Each structure stands twice: as C-alpha cells, then as structure tokens.
Structure 1
Amino acid sequence: MRKIVLMMSVSLDGYMEGPAREIAWHRVDDELHQHMNDEIRMMGGFLDGRVTHELMSDYWPTADADPACTPVTAEFAGIWREMPKIVFSRTLKPGPAPWHTTVMPEVAPEAIRALKELPGGDLCLGGADLAATFLKHDLVDESRIYVHPVLVGAGKQTFPVTEFAPRTLRLVESRTFGNGVVLLRHAWDAQ
C-alpha cells in the first residue's frame, strides 16, 4: 500500500514560512536539492493545496529554460512537470488541469484511502494547512521534516493548532547535510 508522506522544510523555531510567506531562508544547496530530487523521483504523486500548487506552477514548468538554471534545478523541473498532482482547492475548477494536475474540492478521507490502495509510489504531501487536514483525518503515514538551522521568529507554523490526538512517532532515519539542514524521518504507526 502506498504511504502519504508529509515532506516539509522548517526553521529551527518551527515555521515553514516567514510572516510575508517568505522562504528565502531555506538553505537549499546542490547536495540537499539532489537528495530531494532522488526522494521525490520515487514518489507516485504530489498532494498540495492551492497556494503551494500555484507557487510551484508559477516557477517549475519553465525553470529549466533559464540559462542560469543549475543541472539539479533543471532535473527537478522535469520531475515536477511529469509527476501526477492532486490539488485540493475550493476556488479552482474541479477536474483536470495543466501539468498532470487534478483539482479536488476537498479532502475526502475515503477517497484518500482508496488512492493509497492504487499501485504506484508513495504520495508526497505538502503545505501546512493541507497537512493539518490530513492529520485531523489520520491520513499521514510518514513525515520527512527538513530542519534548517535558521530562526525565523514568526510566520506560518509547520504544525498549526489542530484537533488531533497526540501520538508518538518512530524515528526511521536522521541525516545531517553539509549545509546544516537535518532530516528527521518518522513513521506514523497506527494508533
């Protein structure tokens, strides 16, 4: 069965973005970016909210056309364009959309559980608000949190206050990258 994998970059003080939605503090170098490419290439699709999808679709479809684009960035652009995407949005028109995207109006737990039963790679979940909804419905199987050695001070919390029961996670992997970013990979075993 496929897993829902929450992948997120966070500051040391727990924010996924600053107060003005800025993420320039992310410390992504070629080593970390290549790791992300290698991880995401094995996935079966992206699960994103509208805001995350719009940020991605504003840049990645043509990122590799920029002459200043690095090889690792060009590689991710190709992965992103070809990867199936499900975008959860109440404002976008439901159904097929550009870049192998399907828009769904809401998170229906039964539909997500059925999606996990389909063949293919794990599904990459992104975005704090969408993650909160998936957590509320106990739909997350694993998290890969990339902790950047930066204090942001304010912004959007990685795990916003939600109504879900506390749970203990099982550490599966930890890794420190040369730029100081630390991966904490946890299994969210059934309660």
Structure 2
Amino acid sequence: MNKLISTHWISLDGFIAGPMGEMDWIRGDDQLSSYEIGLVNGASSLLLGKGTYQDFAQYWPAVPANPNAATWEKTYAERINALHKVVISHNLQAAKWPTSELWRELDAAKVNAFKARAGGDILTYGSATIVQQLTNLGLVDEYHWLIHPIVLGKGRRLLDNLERRFDIELIDSERFDSGVMKLIYRRV
C-alpha cells in the first residue's frame, strides 16, 4: 500500500507557523529544494485541508510561467500542479485547481481506499487540523519534519489535539547547509 506522508517545516520550539500564520522564517537551500522535488516526484496525490489547499491553488499554478521563479521552484510547481489533489472541507464551494476533488469529511475507510488505489505516496502539507485527525485515526505512515534553526516563541503547533500517545521510529536524518534538520519518522 502507498504511504501517507505528513511533511512540515517546524521551528525548533515546535511551531509550524507564526502567530499570524506567517512562514517568513523558512530557510531554503539546494538540499531542501532537492528533498522537496524528490518527495513530490515519488507521490501521486496531495491530501490537504481548506486553508493549505487555497494557498497552494492560488500560488503554484502561476509559478511555471513566472520568469522570476527559480528553476527548482518551476520544476516543483509543474509536478505539484500535475498531482491529484484532495481537499477536505465542510464549507468550500468547489475545488477549482485542476485535478482536484472535494471531500466533505475525513473518513478512515475512504482514506485507506484512497491509499490502496493511489499510484504513489500521498502527501499532506500544512493542514494541521487534518493531520491531527489523520494521526488520531492512525492513518499517517511517516512524518517528515524539517526542523528550522529558529525559536518562534508562539504560533500554531502541529499535534496539539491528539487523543492518545503514539510511538515513532527515526528512519532517516540529514543536516542541510542552511542548518535545517530533516527528520523522517515512521509510526510503529
């Protein structure tokens, strides 16, 4: 079965966004870009919450034609635009980004069926509420955490509302030149 991978950029003190949702603290480099491109190249689908979906749908479709975009960003955008996308939302009217579908609720049986038929891994970016629900249902196979060398002090955390403790196993780690630590955990 394909894996459901939750990938996040995280501050050293555990925040995935600042108090106003800001992401201006993200540090990129060639290694991080290569990692992100490799991740989407191994995937067939995205599973996103409404906010992340809307942000992505507004930004990524225009990147391939943007003369100011970096080469890696254009490569990433072309791939992410081609992926099948599922957005989970109770109140989004329509999923208009090409190759998207709208689910009104997160259902474990539906997610497992989706994992079984997907042609590659399923990625979830951002979407903290959805990731918490997926985690509570035991559906996330791997967590890819990119720990940035910054302390935000406050903001939005990823896994604040878990119903129970769960064990994870470190299966890969790498330090990037930017100081970002890539930590990949598998649920055990």
Whether TM-score is above 0.5 comes out as yes
| 1:64-107 C-alpha deviation (Å, 9 max, x unpaired) | 2222111001111101110110000111136x633211010110
Mapping of residues 60-99 of structure 1, within 5 Å: 60-93=60-93, 97-99=96-98
Which residue of structure 1 aligns with residue 18 of structure 2? 18
| 1:167-191 C-alpha deviation (Å, 9 max, x unpaired) | 22111100111101001101112xx
Cα distance in 2 for residues equivalent to 1:84 and 1:3: 15
Cα distance in 2 for residues equivalent to 1:69 and 1:116: 32
Which residue of structure 1 aligns with residue 170 of structure 2? 171
Which letter maps to 1:155? G
Cα distance in 1 for residues equivalent to 2:178 and 2:86: 32
Which residue of structure 2 aligns with residue 110 of structure 1? 109
What SS does the corresponding residue of 1:97 show, helix, strand or coil?
Answer: coil
Which letter maps to 1:78? E
| 1:33-68 C-alpha deviation (Å, 9 max, x unpaired) | 121111111111100000001111111100122221
Q: Does 1:35 align with 2:24?
A: no
**Gapped runs of 5+ residues in structure 1?**
none
Which residue of structure 1 aligns with residue 147 of structure 2? 147
Identity of aligned residues (%): 26
Which residue of structure 1 aligns with residue 9 of structure 2? 9
| 1:130-183 C-alpha deviation (Å, 9 max, x unpaired) | 1001011111111111100111111100212221x2122111100111101001
Deviating runs (4+, > 4 A) in structure 1?
none
Q: CA deviation at 1:119?
A: 4.3
Which letter maps to 1:167? F
Segment drifting more, 152-161 vs 176-185: 152-161
Which letter maps to 1:35? Y
Segment drifting more, 104-113 vs 31-40: 31-40
Q: CA deviation at 1:28?
A: 1.6
**Gapped runs of 5+ residues in structure 2?**
none
What TM-score do you get using the length of structure 1 for normalisation? Answer: 0.93
What TM-score do you get using the length of structure 2 for normalisation? Answer: 0.95
What SS does the corresponding residue of 2:86 show, helix, strand or coil?
Answer: strand
What SS does the corresponding residue of 1:150 show, helix, strand or coil?
Answer: coil
Contact 2:86 2:102 in 1 (8 A): yes
Cα distance in 1 for residues equivalent to 2:65 and 2:29: 20
Cα distance in 2 for residues equivalent to 1:99 and 1:38: 22
Mapping of residues 174-185 of structure 1, within 5 Å: 174-185=173-184
What SS does the corresponding residue of 1:13 show, helix, strand or coil?
Answer: coil
Q: How many residues align?
A: 187
What SS does the corresponding residue of 1:44 show, helix, strand or coil?
Answer: strand
